[in-house]
């Protein structure tokens, strides 16, 4: 497994819409494993393939707590089928927007259809942190960032800050 470099805001790659994964083969499974390794190293609880520059509909998540056994989840071509009317708010962060956090309100529960590592179609109902994480990562597949769910003023401040930092690195 290989730790991959993360794509950081304001890189326009983060706004790309990802393409479906056509088949679950050795390459797609290796990509999933590399993503898990990268996510754990960061450290984070979720990662979309676009965040390492691969525009494919693949998400990895592990919301297990520190000290617990790791419970990695891999979702190929995930799509939200239903969302509850009930809402919940979590302080979200993103590996592609390091050291910035904001309160985001989303549906409290969702049902997701996806393809697993064995190429089998599955459905999962999630609530709490897992539901929030899934929505955050699926947003990435559609070119949406969590800062798109906060006020325009805050979002523009964050984008300016990261644009300035990117220019300083050049």
Q: What is the reported pLDDT for 168?
A: 87
User: What's the topology of domain 12-169?
Assistant: Peptide Deformylase (3.90.45)
Which amino acids are annotated catalytic? 137
HSE (side-chain half, CA atoms, 13 Å) at 163? 7
pLDDT digits (tens, 9 = 90+) for 82-112: 999 999 999 999 999 999 999 999 999 999 9
pLDDT digits (tens, 9 = 90+) for 137-165: 999 999 999 999 999 999 999 999 999 99
Q: What is the reported pLDDT for 169?
A: 77
Unique residue bearing structure tokens 């890189």 = 11
Q: What is the reported pLDDT for 56?
A: 98
Average pLDDT over residues 116-135: 98
Q: What are the DSSP E strand ranges found in 3-117?
A: 46-48, 58-61, 73-83, 87-94, 97-107, 109-115
Prior bond of 106 cis (ω within 30°): no
Q: What is the reported pLDDT for 66?
A: 85
In the chain, where are the structural domains located?
Answer: 12-169
* Residue 72 structure tokens: 């990695």
């Amino acid at each position: 497994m290989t730790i991959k470099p993360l794509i950081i805001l304001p890189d326009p790659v983060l706004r790309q819409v990802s393409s479906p994964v056509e088949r679950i083969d050795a390459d797609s499974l290796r990509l999933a494993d590399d993503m898990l390794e990268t996510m754990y190293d960061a450290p984070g609880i979720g990662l979309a393939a676009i965040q390492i520059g691969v525009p494919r509909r693949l998400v990895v998540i592990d919301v297990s707590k520190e000290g617990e056994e790791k419970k990695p989840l891999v979702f190929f071509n995930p799509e939200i089928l239903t969302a509850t009317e009930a809402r919940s708010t979590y302080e979200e962060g993103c590996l592609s927007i390091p050291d910035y956090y904001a309160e985001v309100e989303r549906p409290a529960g969702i049902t997701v259809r996806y393809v697993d590592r064995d190429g089998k179609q599955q459905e999962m109902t999630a609530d709490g942190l897992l539901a929030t994480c899934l929505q955050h990562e699926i947003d990435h597949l559609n070119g949406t960032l969590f800062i798109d769910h906060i006020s325009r003023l805050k979002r523009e401040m964050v984008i300016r800050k990261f644009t300035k930092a990117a220019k300083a690195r050049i």
